[in-house]
């Protein structure tokens, strides 16, 4: 599998709004990857800003939040976009979206992660849902980082990344 000239693999986490799940995945992978991966995130219909509770949660866990902002997936489909090695959808709605053909034919995978912002929960329940979402993504990122660096069949690798999402859903 190709990577950038520096050997760093680029990962795009794609969600509908790019305000929670995909942002957390971007921040966590960049924080934990040790320079092996460069994570980005984007949304099909990006929101105007990252909700403050998401930024607060990341900060509480010691995850840097500088430079995070909602972006459109179109940012990563143009000629000046970084070459992507992986595109991972983090919500079921974006998994079914018609997305562009990504340059370099990245491995595509899906992690079904519940949306912590759904429902009319009280503040304590909303925070509990957000924390559960963070923990799911954290486990998924940890498993993703355990994958061997050797070249692996692209289809098998895509299936393995899908399995990571399914394993951590519980």
Q: Is there a domain that residue 119 lies in? A: yes
Q: Closest Cα to residue 111, out of 133, 78, 79?
A: 133
Instruction: Find out whether 4 and 33 touch, Cβ atoms under 8 Å.
Output: no
Q: What is the CATH number of the domain that holds 155?
A: 3.40.50.2300
**Does 1 fall in a domain?**
no
- Cross-strand partners of 98: none
Whole-angstrom distance, CA of residue 31 vs CA of residue 167: 22
User: In the predicted model, what is the mean pLDDT of the chain?
Assistant: 84
Structural domain range at position 139: 9-167
Structural domain tally of the chain?
1
Q: Is residue 3 part of a domain?
A: no
Residue 149 within a domain: yes
Q: How far apart are CA 146 and CA 160, in angstroms?
A: 11
Check whether 120 has a pLDDT greater than 70. no
Do 107 and 85 touch, CB atoms closer than 8 A? Answer: yes
In a domain, 2, yes or no: no
Most confident range (mean pLDDT) of 89-93, 113-117, 144-148, 151-155 is: 144-148
List of residues 6+ apart from 94 with CB closer than 8 A = 14, 15, 16, 43, 44
Domain-located, residue 143: yes
pLDDT digits over 18-55, tens only?
Answer: 999 999 999 999 999 999 999 999 998 999 999 999 99
Residue 142 placed within a domain: yes
Kindly indicate the confidence band of residue 91, based on its pLDDT and cuts at 50, 70 and 90: confident
Whether residue 85 has pLDDT greater than 50: yes
């Amino acid at each position: 599998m190709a990577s950038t000239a520096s050997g760093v693999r680029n990962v795009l986490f794609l969600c509908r709004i790019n305000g929670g799940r995909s942002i957390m995945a971007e921040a966590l992978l960049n924080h934990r990857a040790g320079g092996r991966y460069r994570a980005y995130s984007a949304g099909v219909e990006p929101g105007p800003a990252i909700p403050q509770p998401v930024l607060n949660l990341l900060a509480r866990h010691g995850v840097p939040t500088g430079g995070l902002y909602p972006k459109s997936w179109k940012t990563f489909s143009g000629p000046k976009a970084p070459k992507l090695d992986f595109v991972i959808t983090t919500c079921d709605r974006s998994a079914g979206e018609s997305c562009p053909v990504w340059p370099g034919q990245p491995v595509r995978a899906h992690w079904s992660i519940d949306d912590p912002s759904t429902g009319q929960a009280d503040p304590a329940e909303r925070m509990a849902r957000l924390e559960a979402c963070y923990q799911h993504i954290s486990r998924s990122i940890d498993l993703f980082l355990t994958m061997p660096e050797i070249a692996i069949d692209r289809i098998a690798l895509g299936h393995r990344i899908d399995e990571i999402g399914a394993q951590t859903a519980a």
